[in-house]
């Protein structure tokens, strides 16, 4: 199956999926009913044998607990990474104030449901074409290694697959920016490896400091440099403090922030300075 076919199927699925729009019964405010969460996705792929996957197991990146593609699927030949960018409505709503907007909270919680639905759908399409496929985020072997690192980091996988590079905020900067969610598939399908348009993990970050200025918790500091610029021990507790009481018939608890992803030069694209 060609990557272009998978991308077309994913676009069609997102356009038609009811989970990509806020339902009336779940809407925090009535006027949010029907709001679209994600726009058209980005896809990219890498060989399962790419040496960068093994580098994720080094202590300075994730550590020895990080899975290789073949840990998920022994016959793995490729890894497909995808980025689902939030719509303008979601991004614009979160540019003001210290608290996450209602639109952003829906994108964080209902958006995860849509992301997992798409991951399952893509696995089904690959399996129908005669290939094995695993969506690690929904696999029972997926686990946290530390409070802020898992055995399969979607951002790191997207980096290896050529989707983008990290910024000061630890978000991944893609051709459609940082505001959105990542997913990936490990498959036996021989997908062509994409060309990485960068030669280091931070190539697209200009260190402008806009994300630091936006952070209501003060968790990001330009002075600490791009590698250590964000302190997760400050960010994490702040995000956990935003939990709202369960809402709607599905009794969903919502939380989030995302201020470092909006109102910044990398919100919806790669900063122009890095492209010159």
Going by the DSSP 8-state scheme, the letter that residue 137 receives in this structure is G
Distance CA 81, CA 206 (A): 24
Q: What would the mean pLDDT of 57-82 be, rounded to a whole number?
A: 96
pLDDT the model gives residue 276: 44
How far out from the chain centre does Cα 242 lie?
A: 20
Per-residue pLDDT, averaged over 157-180, amounts to: 98
| Residue located via tokens 């598939």 | 185
Q: Using CB atoms within 10 A of its CB, is residue 272 exposed (0-12), middle (13-18) or buried (19+)?
A: exposed
pLDDT of residue 3: 75
In angstroms, the CA 230 to CA 5 distance is 38
The 8-class DSSP code of residue 221 comes to: -
Per-residue pLDDT tens digits for 256-273: 999 999 999 999 999 977
Q: What is the spatial order of strands in the sheet that 133-134 belongs to?
A: 42-47, 78-85, 180-187, 133-134
Backbone phi, psi, residue 179, to 5° = -80, 95
In this structure, are residues 157 and 67 in contact, taking their beta carbons and an 8 Å threshold? no
Average pLDDT, the chain: 95
Closest Cα partner for 45 from 253, 186, 214?
186
Residues 198/224, Cβ–Cβ less than 8 Å: no
**Residue 275: what pLDDT?**
52
CA dist 104 and 94 (Å) reads 6
């Amino acid at each position: 199956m060609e990557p272009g076919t998978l991308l077309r199927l994913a676009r069609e699925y997102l356009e038609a999926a009811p989970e990509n729009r806020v339902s009336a019964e779940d809407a925090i405010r009535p006027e949010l009913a029907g709001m679209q969460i994600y726009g058209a996705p980005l896809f990219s792929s890498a060989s399962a044998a790419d040496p960068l996957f093994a580098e994720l197991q080094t202590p300075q990146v994730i550590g020895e607990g990080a899975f290789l593609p073949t840990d998920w699927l022994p016959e793995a030949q490729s890894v497909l990474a995808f980025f689902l960018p939030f719509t303008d409505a979601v991004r614009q709503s979160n540019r003001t104030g210290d608290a996450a907007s209602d639109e952003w909270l829906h994108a964080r919680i209902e958006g995860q449901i849509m992301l997992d639905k798409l991951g399952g759908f893509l696995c089904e399409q690959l399996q129908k074409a005669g290939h094995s496929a695993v969506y690690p985020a929904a696999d029972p072997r997926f686990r946290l290694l530390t409070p802020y690192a898992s055995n399969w980091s979607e951002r790191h996988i997207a980096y290896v697959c050529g989707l983008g590079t990290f910024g000061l905020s630890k978000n991944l900067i893609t051709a459609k920016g940082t505001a959105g969610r990542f997913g990936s598939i490990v498959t036996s399908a021989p997908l062509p490896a994409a060309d990485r348009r960068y030669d280091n993990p931070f190539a697209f970050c200009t260190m402008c400091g806009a994300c630091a200025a936006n952070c209501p918790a003060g968790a990001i500091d330009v002075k600490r440099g791009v590698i250590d610029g964000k302190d997760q021990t400050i960010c994490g507790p702040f995000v956990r403090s935003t939990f709202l009481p369960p809402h709607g018939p599905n009794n969903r608890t919502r939380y989030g922030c995302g201020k470092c992803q909006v109102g910044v030069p990398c919100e919806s694209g790669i900063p122009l300075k890095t492209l010159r």
